[in-house]
Structure 1
Amino acid sequence: MKRICILVVLAFSAFSSIAQNDLFTEEKTPAHKGFIINANGGVDFPAADMADRFGTNYRIGGAILYKTKTNWMFGPKIDFLLGNNIKEDSFLINLTDDDGALINQDGQPVGINTYERGYLIGIQGSKIFNISKSNADNGILITTTVGFMQHKINLFDREKTIPQLRRDYRKGYDRLTNGMFVEQYIGYNFFAQDGLINFHIGLNVTAGFTEGRRDFLFDVQRPDHGSRLDVLFGIRAGWYFPIFKRKSEEIFFE
């Protein structure tokens, strides 16, 4: 957590320096249109039902966007959820001994690795509200995304000595969950005039209206079809690779 806070402070410090230069330059570049490849990453802090199952997770992903001259952007995106903080630690209780240790097929205690894995795929629409005196492409970025999200507990039995976690049996423990989501993001959007530095940084909140998708959970001996509200509060930054169409410049000689 301390490292995350330091990275956030450094990122916002760099953003503040660039934004100040952007706001106080007199000559203004007009808005561009064209395609943009966006690579982004961030950290999420879960809430509601998500917080009962997982701790802090990380997100990496990308989008292919089209930007108009009126500063609208839209296109498909995908993010992957990665984490190793599993709070729902009782889901393997029927595979443990009295001391809470996992037992393999030879009756010996073993350890397995558990991870959070998931993804969000959807369509996003964004609007840049220009506040820059130097570049019409720069300003406050507000984005709405709607789509499909899925997450589960990934169980990794390295030695493959626990029969109950092989093949389809692991489905009775992985807590597969999916459903629709909506996400709101607000941040600052920057395109350099020379095209070398192009980024966004800001905050997002994601609400997933999901359901459990397994027909039977071995530990609690029942189906898992309950409705959930999976919420993520996040800090996210992204790098743009713009493919803007530039007008040819005419050169005059005296």
Structure 2
Amino acid sequence: MKHNIRLNYIPTLLVWSIFFSFYTIQAQPTKPLSFIQVGLGAQQPFLDLAKDYGSNLNLNASVGLKWNKHWISGIGFEYLFGTTVKQDVLYALRNDVGYVTNNEGYPADVRITQRGFQVYFKWGYQGNLFSDHVFWVFTPAVTYLEHQVYLYDVEKKVVALQNESIKGYDRLCNGLGIRNEWGIMYLSKNRLSNFYIGFDATFAWTKNQRRFAYGIGELPHSTRRDALAGIRCSWILPLYTSAEHSFYK
């Protein structure tokens, strides 16, 4: 599916972002510092998104630059996944007793979950808190949000859920939005015990990317208002350009 193809590009994007970070560091006379974050988060949906899904977990990663004592920027990625789908997207496939049957007429094992991702560019401000090793961080961002119902036919015996036919059930939506993060960052002198914990909130204007859904017919193409809010924690790997430069300056 196109969704999976897009996800395959994300590792390449992050690798090129790291390369660009190092290139920029060499080109800038002020020699900003770069850093990598990887972590785990949890989010609750709101507005239109809450009508379709429950809460989710997410894996997140980002690369960034610290331009001077306070200003930072970066690019980030989140992979969203959850188990609660509120709409019965397989309604058209169910028999009189509520089962989805396979090609042989037996009940099929179909897993219905949610999937999605965000790719965002952030620019923000950090300031010292308590000491030179603890910072508060605020980073607004422009984001691209995509979400869909993920259907997994365990035995691969439901012809309606194979190839292009599955698009009539997945409710794929995507669009641009805004995102904010508020958190606390700790960077130790040993350069290993570094972490971030904070809150994030996303508001996106998305649209259905499918024209119709089986059992429903034509899907509305009006703009949706999707929102997410949650907490996240991550480990940080700071990349110093020289012994004279550090995050504490």
Superposed pair shares fold, TM > 0.5: yes
Query: Where does residue 190 of structure 2 map in the other structure?
Result: 194
Question: 2: distance between equivalents of 1:193 and 1:106?
Answer: 63
The AA in structure 2 aligned to 1:216 is F
Give the % identical residues.
27
Which letter does structure 2 place at the counterpart of 1:141? Answer: V
Q: In 2, distance between residues paired with 1:122 and 1:196?
A: 26
Q: 2:175: which partner in 1?
A: 179
- TM-score normalized with structure 1 length: 0.80
Query: Following the alignment from structure 1 to structure 2, what is the Cα–Cα distance between the partners of residues 231 and 99?
Result: 36
Query: Counterparts of 1:92 and 1:247 in 2: how far apart (Å)?
Result: 59
One-letter amino acid of the counterpart of residue 161, structure 2 = L
Unaligned runs of 5+ in 2: 1-30
Rg comparison, structure with higher value: 1
SS of the residue aligned with 2:92? helix
8 Å contact kept, 2:76–2:121 = yes
Letter in 1 for 2:231: I
Q: CA deviation at 1:77?
A: 1.1
TM-score (norm. length: structure 2): 0.81
Q: Superposition pairs for residues 85-100 of structure 1, below 5 Å?
A: 85-88=84-87, 90-100=88-98
1:108 aligns with 2:102: no
2:47–2:225 CA contact under 8 A, matched in 1: yes
TM-aligned CA deviation for residue 49 of structure 1? 1.1
2: distance between equivalents of 1:55 and 1:65?
A: 31
Shift of 1:70: 2.1
Separation in structure 2 between the aligned mates of residue 240 and residue 119 of structure 1, nearest angstrom: 21
Candidates 112, 120, 123, aligned match of 1:122: 120
Match for residue 142 of structure 1? 138
Go from structure 1 to structure 2 and tell me whether the alpha carbon gap of 1:154 and 1:117 turns closer, same or farther (over 3 Å shift): same
Kindly provide the CA deviation profile for residues 158-182 of structure 1, in whole angstroms up to 9, marking residues without a partner as x.
2122111111000000000000121
1:135-174 pair list within 5 angstroms = 135=132, 138-174=134-170
Q: Tell me the distance in 1 between the aligned counterparts of 2:196 and 2:233.
A: 6
Listed as ranges, the matches of 1:1-254 within 5 Å are 33-88=32-87, 90-133=88-131, 135=132, 138-247=134-243
1:225 CA displacement: 1.9
Give the deviation of 1:224 after TM superposition: 4.2
Instruction: Determine if contact 2:144/2:175 at 8 Å carries over to the other structure.
Output: yes
Question: Number of residue pairs matched?
Answer: 215
